Structure 1
Protein backbone atom coordinates (compact mmCIF):
# COMPACT_ATOMS: atom_id res chain seq x y z
CA UNK A 1 0.00 0.00 0.00
CA UNK A 2 1.40 3.39 -0.91
CA UNK A 3 2.24 5.51 2.10
CA UNK A 4 1.88 9.24 2.63
CA UNK A 5 5.28 10.90 2.79
CA UNK A 6 6.34 13.27 5.53
CA UNK A 7 6.54 16.13 3.04
CA UNK A 8 3.00 15.41 1.80
CA UNK A 9 1.71 15.15 5.37
CA UNK A 10 3.25 18.47 6.38
CA UNK A 11 2.01 20.13 3.20
CA UNK A 12 -1.48 18.73 3.71
CA UNK A 13 -1.73 19.81 7.32
CA UNK A 14 -0.07 23.20 7.08
CA UNK A 15 -1.06 24.56 3.74
CA UNK A 16 -3.52 24.53 0.96
CA UNK A 17 -3.64 21.58 -1.40
CA UNK A 18 -4.84 22.36 -4.88
CA UNK A 19 -6.89 19.62 -6.40
CA UNK A 20 -8.31 19.23 -9.87
CA UNK A 21 -12.04 18.55 -10.29
CA UNK A 22 -14.33 18.46 -13.29
CA UNK A 23 -15.10 21.99 -14.32
CA UNK A 24 -11.93 23.54 -12.91
CA UNK A 25 -9.55 23.65 -10.01
CA UNK A 26 -10.86 23.76 -6.48
CA UNK A 27 -8.71 24.64 -3.47
CA UNK A 28 -9.17 22.62 -0.32
CA UNK A 29 -7.80 24.11 2.89
CA UNK A 30 -7.36 22.26 6.15
CA UNK A 31 -10.15 23.57 8.36
CA UNK A 32 -9.50 24.30 12.03
CA UNK A 33 -12.94 22.98 12.98
CA UNK A 34 -13.30 19.86 10.80
CA UNK A 35 -11.17 17.03 9.41
CA UNK A 36 -10.88 16.46 5.68
CA UNK A 37 -10.49 13.54 3.32
CA UNK A 38 -8.28 13.32 0.21
CA UNK A 39 -8.83 10.62 -2.45
CA UNK A 40 -5.79 10.00 -4.70
CA UNK A 41 -6.10 8.12 -7.99
CA UNK A 42 -2.70 6.44 -8.32
CA UNK A 43 -3.54 4.56 -11.51
CA UNK A 44 -2.44 5.44 -15.04
CA UNK A 45 -5.97 6.29 -16.21
CA UNK A 46 -8.95 8.39 -15.19
CA UNK A 47 -11.30 6.60 -12.79
CA UNK A 48 -14.84 7.21 -11.60
CA UNK A 49 -14.51 6.92 -7.82
CA UNK A 50 -17.51 6.93 -5.49
CA UNK A 51 -17.02 8.18 -1.94
CA UNK A 52 -19.66 7.58 0.73
CA UNK A 53 -19.05 8.99 4.22
CA UNK A 54 -21.48 8.20 7.04
CA UNK A 55 -21.47 8.96 10.74
CA UNK A 56 -20.74 5.72 12.57
CA UNK A 57 -23.26 6.30 15.36
CA UNK A 58 -26.44 7.09 13.45
CA UNK A 59 -25.45 6.18 9.86
CA UNK A 60 -26.21 9.73 8.61
CA UNK A 61 -24.85 10.25 5.09
CA UNK A 62 -22.44 13.21 5.01
CA UNK A 63 -21.08 12.59 1.50
CA UNK A 64 -22.33 10.42 -1.39
CA UNK A 65 -20.40 11.55 -4.45
CA UNK A 66 -18.97 10.06 -7.64
CA UNK A 67 -16.12 11.99 -9.21
CA UNK A 68 -14.03 11.36 -12.32
CA UNK A 69 -10.48 11.69 -11.04
CA UNK A 70 -7.69 11.92 -13.64
CA UNK A 71 -4.66 9.61 -13.37
CA UNK A 72 -2.24 10.66 -10.61
CA UNK A 73 -4.61 13.37 -9.29
CA UNK A 74 -6.59 14.01 -6.11
CA UNK A 75 -10.10 14.97 -5.07
CA UNK A 76 -11.13 15.99 -1.59
CA UNK A 77 -13.91 16.61 0.91
CA UNK A 78 -13.89 19.20 3.67
CA UNK A 79 -16.22 20.39 6.44
CA UNK A 80 -16.87 16.86 7.66
CA UNK A 81 -18.29 16.22 11.14
CA UNK A 82 -15.45 16.38 13.63
CA UNK A 83 -14.67 14.41 16.76
CA UNK A 84 -16.99 11.53 15.91
CA UNK A 85 -16.24 8.26 14.13
CA UNK A 86 -17.14 7.98 10.46
CA UNK A 87 -17.42 5.06 8.04
CA UNK A 88 -15.76 5.82 4.70
CA UNK A 89 -16.56 3.61 1.70
CA UNK A 90 -14.63 4.01 -1.55
CA UNK A 91 -15.78 2.27 -4.76
CA UNK A 92 -14.27 2.35 -8.23
CA UNK A 93 -15.81 1.76 -11.64
CA UNK A 94 -13.55 -1.30 -11.92
CA UNK A 95 -15.25 -3.03 -8.98
CA UNK A 96 -12.79 -2.32 -6.17
CA UNK A 97 -14.43 -1.41 -2.86
CA UNK A 98 -13.15 -0.89 0.66
CA UNK A 99 -14.60 0.58 3.86
CA UNK A 100 -12.65 2.16 6.69
CA UNK A 101 -13.85 3.08 10.19
CA UNK A 102 -12.27 6.50 10.73
CA UNK A 103 -11.99 6.83 14.50
CA UNK A 104 -9.40 9.62 14.72
CA UNK A 105 -11.50 12.47 13.34
CA UNK A 106 -9.93 15.23 15.41
CA UNK A 107 -10.17 18.54 13.54
CA UNK A 108 -6.45 18.65 12.74
CA UNK A 109 -6.41 15.15 11.17
CA UNK A 110 -6.94 14.16 7.57
CA UNK A 111 -7.70 10.82 5.96
CA UNK A 112 -5.70 10.02 2.85
CA UNK A 113 -7.19 7.38 0.54
CA UNK A 114 -4.94 5.83 -2.12
CA UNK A 115 -6.61 4.04 -5.03
CA UNK A 116 -4.39 1.76 -7.13
CA UNK A 117 -5.33 -0.80 -9.77
CA UNK A 118 -5.76 -3.58 -7.20
CA UNK A 119 -6.10 -1.92 -3.77
CA UNK A 120 -7.72 0.89 -1.83
CA UNK A 121 -5.65 1.98 1.19
CA UNK A 122 -6.34 4.38 4.03
CA UNK A 123 -3.86 6.43 6.11
CA UNK A 124 -4.73 8.93 8.86
CA UNK A 125 -2.44 11.96 8.66
CA UNK A 126 -1.81 13.54 12.05
CA UNK A 127 0.17 16.66 12.82
CA UNK A 128 3.67 16.04 14.25
Structure 2
Protein backbone atom coordinates (compact mmCIF):
# COMPACT_ATOMS: atom_id res chain seq x y z
CA UNK A 1 0.00 0.00 0.00
CA UNK A 2 2.75 2.54 0.87
CA UNK A 3 5.40 1.60 -1.68
CA UNK A 4 5.34 5.06 -3.23
CA UNK A 5 6.68 6.98 -0.22
CA UNK A 6 9.21 9.61 -1.24
CA UNK A 7 11.53 11.44 1.15
CA UNK A 8 14.28 14.00 1.22
CA UNK A 9 17.02 14.43 3.85
CA UNK A 10 17.92 17.93 5.03
CA UNK A 11 21.08 19.05 6.82
CA UNK A 12 20.95 20.67 10.27
CA UNK A 13 20.51 24.44 10.37
CA UNK A 14 21.40 27.04 12.99
CA UNK A 15 22.14 25.26 16.29
CA UNK A 16 20.15 22.10 15.56
CA UNK A 17 21.71 18.82 16.62
CA UNK A 18 20.38 16.90 13.63
CA UNK A 19 18.82 17.44 10.26
CA UNK A 20 15.32 16.50 9.24
CA UNK A 21 13.53 14.19 6.89
CA UNK A 22 10.54 15.33 4.88
CA UNK A 23 8.17 12.58 3.79
CA UNK A 24 5.62 12.69 0.99
CA UNK A 25 2.97 10.07 1.63
CA UNK A 26 0.49 8.80 -0.96
CA UNK A 27 -2.37 9.25 1.54
CA UNK A 28 -3.14 11.99 4.07
CA UNK A 29 -1.77 11.72 7.60
CA UNK A 30 -5.32 12.07 8.94
CA UNK A 31 -6.47 9.07 6.92
CA UNK A 32 -3.42 7.00 7.91
CA UNK A 33 -4.19 7.75 11.59
CA UNK A 34 -7.83 6.84 11.08
CA UNK A 35 -7.00 3.40 9.65
CA UNK A 36 -4.42 2.78 12.39
CA UNK A 37 -1.32 2.93 10.20
CA UNK A 38 0.07 5.98 12.01
CA UNK A 39 -0.17 6.75 15.70
CA UNK A 40 0.84 9.86 17.60
CA UNK A 41 3.35 9.03 20.32
CA UNK A 42 3.48 11.35 23.30
CA UNK A 43 6.58 11.51 25.46
CA UNK A 44 6.10 10.74 29.16
CA UNK A 45 8.53 10.59 32.08
CA UNK A 46 9.34 6.91 31.50
CA UNK A 47 10.06 7.44 27.81
CA UNK A 48 12.01 10.61 28.64
CA UNK A 49 14.25 8.64 31.04
CA UNK A 50 15.01 6.16 28.24
CA UNK A 51 15.87 8.96 25.81
CA UNK A 52 18.13 10.65 28.39
CA UNK A 53 19.87 7.34 29.07
CA UNK A 54 20.66 7.07 25.35
CA UNK A 55 22.31 10.50 25.53
CA UNK A 56 24.63 9.28 28.30
CA UNK A 57 24.29 12.45 30.39
CA UNK A 58 25.43 12.72 34.01
CA UNK A 59 22.30 12.27 36.13
CA UNK A 60 23.34 15.23 38.30
CA UNK A 61 22.50 17.59 35.44
CA UNK A 62 18.77 16.90 35.52
CA UNK A 63 15.93 15.99 37.86
CA UNK A 64 12.66 14.46 36.71
CA UNK A 65 10.94 15.06 40.02
CA UNK A 66 12.11 11.84 41.67
CA UNK A 67 14.69 13.46 44.00
CA UNK A 68 15.08 16.69 45.99
CA UNK A 69 16.01 19.81 44.03
CA UNK A 70 19.78 20.30 43.78
CA UNK A 71 21.99 23.15 42.64
CA UNK A 72 22.37 23.95 38.94
CA UNK A 73 20.08 21.31 37.52
CA UNK A 74 17.44 21.31 34.85
CA UNK A 75 14.30 19.87 36.33
CA UNK A 76 10.67 18.93 35.98
CA UNK A 77 8.14 19.07 38.81
CA UNK A 78 4.38 18.96 39.08
CA UNK A 79 2.53 21.73 40.90
CA UNK A 80 -1.25 22.15 41.04
CA UNK A 81 -1.78 19.71 38.15
CA UNK A 82 0.75 21.60 36.00
CA UNK A 83 4.15 20.47 34.71
CA UNK A 84 6.92 22.95 35.50
CA UNK A 85 10.31 22.98 33.78
CA UNK A 86 12.93 24.82 35.85
CA UNK A 87 16.63 25.61 36.19
CA UNK A 88 17.82 25.62 39.81
CA UNK A 89 20.18 28.26 41.17
CA UNK A 90 23.54 27.63 42.78
CA UNK A 91 22.46 28.71 46.27
CA UNK A 92 18.85 27.51 46.30
CA UNK A 93 15.66 28.41 44.52
CA UNK A 94 14.95 28.14 40.83
CA UNK A 95 13.93 29.93 37.67
CA UNK A 96 10.74 28.60 36.08
CA UNK A 97 11.44 28.22 32.38
CA UNK A 98 7.92 27.25 31.35
CA UNK A 99 4.75 25.74 32.81
CA UNK A 100 2.67 23.24 30.85
CA UNK A 101 -0.80 21.74 31.17
CA UNK A 102 0.42 18.34 29.97
CA UNK A 103 3.32 16.00 30.57
CA UNK A 104 4.37 15.39 26.97
CA UNK A 105 5.10 19.04 26.16
CA UNK A 106 7.13 19.45 29.36
CA UNK A 107 9.09 16.28 28.57
CA UNK A 108 9.74 17.49 25.03
CA UNK A 109 11.23 20.74 26.36
CA UNK A 110 13.46 18.98 28.90
CA UNK A 111 14.71 16.62 26.20
CA UNK A 112 15.39 19.55 23.86
CA UNK A 113 17.52 21.32 26.49
CA UNK A 114 19.38 18.15 27.45
CA UNK A 115 20.23 17.46 23.80
CA UNK A 116 21.63 20.98 23.55
CA UNK A 117 23.63 20.34 26.73
CA UNK A 118 25.03 17.13 25.25
CA UNK A 119 25.95 18.89 22.01
CA UNK A 120 27.87 21.56 23.94
CA UNK A 121 29.89 19.11 26.08
Does TM, normalized by the shorter one, top 0.5? no
Instruction: Return the TM-score normalized by structure 2.
Output: 0.30
Q: Which has the higher strand share?
A: 1
Q: Specify which structure has the higher proportion of helix.
A: 2
Higher relative contact order (CA 8 A, sep 6+): 1
- Name the larger-Rg structure: 2
